[in-house]
Structure 1
Amino acid sequence: MNDDLGLWTVLLAVIGGAIRVSTPFLFVSLGETITERSGRINLGLEGTLVFGAMSAYATAVVTDSPWAGVAVAGLAGGGFGLLHGFICRFPRVNDVAIGIALMLFGSGLAFFLGKPFIQPSAPPLPAIPLGFWSDTPQVQAALRVNVLFLVGAALAVFLWWAFRNTKAGLIVRVVGDSADAARAMGYDVDRVRLLATAVGGVLAGIGGAYLSLYYPGSWNEGISSGQGLMAVALVIFARWNPLACFGAALLFGGAGALGPALQSVGISQGYYLFYAAPYVLTLALLIATSSPDRALAGAPGELSLK
């Protein structure tokens, strides 16, 4: 019976952890999906995620409002996206190199400006207790869902629909598949990519706000642990499909929650290895989706991933 209870506890912990851990992956991957659908890669979203976490936490400390923190994080992320898109408009500029530079710049700036906010406590984002019907603490904890997770899930559905059924979605897809065709149709390719990169930055910034204001719910220099870069790999695994991004984010979140779940039931020997599960999963997915003999299914034609 104890073994059954232990397994049940681990399962609940993984489910709850998948929901909590997946939210930053979800927002960053949806943002990068929009950006890459326009034909541009933004590896700077790791720096955007970290800066968004810092700016959200600092704003929440100063204003005592977590939602003000989310808004500022989104604006900051949009600013980084605009900067990336503006620089990439110049000829002979490599978007991958610019993304790496902005990743380092965003992280370094966040560490510099965020030092005074490591100790102060900020108000957290609210959560919805969907497990209110149960008297079991594990069920209540697993089904305590943050509002941003639900927003991200709805956004994934909306983007999936918008890419197929709206003029804006069609324009982004045309620009990402063939810049020449888009220009022939009268679209400003640079402007579309600039806006797509900015929107992607906004979503990455909001993902950072979730990190510092809900889970893990603090600001420190190691808060991201490379989630921004892993989310880029997630986009490739999801084949640039927003709905698949949602499922892949839950998969990554479940992998990230496995170590704490095992530790919660007293399995301590070697549990550190399970903390590496998201990184191992990222490497495995990149290897599995790479092939010198075939193009990636669903990849926008203008990306250098073919």
Structure 2
Amino acid sequence: MTDEIGLWGVPLAILGGAIRVSTPFIFVSIGECLTERSGRINLGLEGTLVFGAMSGYAVAYHTGSPWLGTLAAAFSGLLFGLLHGWLCRLPRVNDIAIGIALMIFGTGLAFLFGKPYVQPVAPDLPAIPLGFWSSLPQVQAALNVNVLFLVGIVLAFATAWMLKNTRVGLTIRVTGDSADAARALGIDVNRVRLWSTAAGGALAGVGGAYLSLYYPGSWNEGISSGQGLMAVALVIFARWNPVNCLYASLLFGGAGALGPALQSVGITSGYYLFYAAPYVLTLGLLVATSSRTRAMPSAPGELSIVK
């Protein structure tokens, strides 16, 4: 790449990497945003993401259709979300503890059932070649945009509009801000949180399917690299706004693409350190957004992490 486009290869590689790496963050963070706006936090999304990646890959392999694999991943995520929501309805149950338990359960279940699918090759999700105008293969590769990325952009704006302008969105926001006020209005708080958590789980499953069926495009036990947990920090940084989740996902995606971008222009000494950029960014954002003296703005009042 250096010989053909020089140092322009770095921002180009970061752009392409941001598009590829950000897509699962978009789906998981929007799903977690829905869940948290209803007043519940789901730390089990890491397990949901991994199990969605495995189930989507398995179904795509057996059916020959990556779209059926994506639907299967969404359905498995929905089931995990329903399980999380149902368990949290029980008395004296902590949603954070349940989330950690389901993270371990989902990850272990994916490793158990996914062993036969480490070697077989499943069909990939399609992509749109937006770099067709260029004769450089590097530009074409950077602008090869997966369909789910475009779906994620539409989903972010649609979810923000839904939360602000529809009865369903108002119900979710009231439930997340004050359970007592919601009950006074005749809203079934447990039902709203159950289905919000289920929707969040389904979107996390789709994010998992993207990992196994497009980028990196295979199933293995280390496929997630903690993206489900990082998405929780991303939602806090985005101030529980789905559109901000989209922008923050692109930021995280660009950070994740920094190491490969430097490698593409021949910087190989110590470039592995830049692979830690997303994790350093997560810690930095959590520290920057924390305060002992003031509540986090826009935070749902019922969230256990802000009480």
Structure 2 length as normaliser, TM-score? Answer: 0.98
Q: Secondary structure at the match of 1:171?
A: helix
Give the structure 2 partner of residue 168 of structure 1.
Answer: 168
Q: How far apart, CA to CA, are the structure 1 residues paired with 2:159 and 2:57?
A: 28
Give the structure 2 partner of residue 186 of structure 1.
Answer: 186
Equivalenced residues, count: 305
Q: How far apart, CA to CA, are the structure 1 residues paired with 2:305 and 2:34?
A: 16
Alignment gaps of 5+ in structure 2:
none
Give the structure 2 partner of residue 295 of structure 1.
Answer: 295
Q: Secondary structure at the match of 2:304?
A: coil
- Residue 261 (structure 1) aligned with residue 261 (structure 2): yes
Displacement of 1:134 in angstroms is 1.1
Displacement of 1:205 in angstroms is 0.2
Residues 153-193 of structure 1: CA deviation (Å, up to 9, x unaligned):
00000011111100000000000000000000000000000
Q: How far apart, CA to CA, are the structure 2 residues paired with 1:93 and 1:7?
A: 54
Mapping for residues 82-121 of structure 1, pairs under 5 Å: 82-121=82-121
Report the AA paired with residue 95 of structure 2: D
Q: Secondary structure at the match of 2:26?
A: helix
Q: How far apart, CA to CA, are the structure 2 residues paired with 1:100 and 1:116?
A: 26
Displacement of 1:220 in angstroms is 0.2
Displacement of 1:6 in angstroms is 2.8
- Conserved 8 A contact 1:299-1:305: no
Mapping for residues 19-34 of structure 1, pairs under 5 Å: 19-34=19-34
Give the structure 2 partner of residue 142 of structure 1.
Answer: 142
Q: Secondary structure at the match of 1:128?
A: strand
- Conserved 8 A contact 1:128-1:144: yes
Q: How far apart, CA to CA, are the structure 1 residues paired with 2:43 and 2:7?
A: 38
Give the structure 2 partner of residue 155 of structure 1.
Answer: 155
Cα distance, 1:4–1:118 mapped onto 2, change above 3 Å: closer
Report the AA paired with residue 44 of structure 1: G
Give the structure 1 partner of residue 54 of structure 2.
Answer: 54
Displacement of 1:95 in angstroms is 0.2
Cα distance, 1:281–1:3 mapped onto 2, change above 3 Å: farther
Displacement of 1:136 in angstroms is 1.6
Mapping for residues 160-239 of structure 1, pairs under 5 Å: 160-239=160-239
Q: How far apart, CA to CA, are the structure 2 residues paired with 1:71 and 1:252?
A: 26
Report the AA paired with residue 71 of structure 2: A
Q: How far apart, CA to CA, are the structure 2 residues paired with 1:188 and 1:44?
A: 23
Q: Secondary structure at the match of 1:305?
A: helix
Cα distance, 1:133–1:4 mapped onto 2, change above 3 Å: closer
Mapping for residues 11-22 of structure 1, pairs under 5 Å: 11-22=11-22
Report the AA paired with residue 8 of structure 2: W
Q: Secondary structure at the match of 2:305?
A: coil
Q: How far apart, CA to CA, are the structure 1 residues paired with 2:200 and 2:14?
A: 28
Runs of 4+ in 1 over 4 A off after TM superposition: none
Give the structure 2 partner of residue 68 of structure 1.
Answer: 68
Residues 75-105 of structure 1: CA deviation (Å, up to 9, x unaligned):
0000000000000001100000000000000
Q: How far apart, CA to CA, are the structure 1 residues paired with 2:57 and 2:96?
A: 29
Q: Secondary structure at the match of 2:257?
A: helix
Displacement of 1:138 in angstroms is 1.6
Structure 1 length as normaliser, TM-score? Answer: 0.98
Q: Secondary structure at the match of 1:276?
A: helix
Give the structure 1 partner of residue 275 of structure 2.
Answer: 275
Identity, % of aligned positions: 74
Give the structure 2 partner of residue 45 of structure 1.
Answer: 45
- Residue 286 (structure 1) aligned with residue 286 (structure 2): yes
Alignment gaps of 5+ in structure 1:
none
- Conserved 8 A contact 1:34-1:196: yes
Q: How far apart, CA to CA, are the structure 1 residues paired with 2:3 and 2:60?
A: 43
Give the structure 1 partner of residue 81 of structure 2.
Answer: 81
Report the AA paired with residue 63 of structure 1: T
Q: How far apart, CA to CA, are the structure 1 residues paired with 2:244 and 2:171?
A: 21
Report the AA paired with residue 200 of structure 2: G
Q: Secondary structure at the match of 1:301?
A: coil
Displacement of 1:4 in angstroms is 9.6
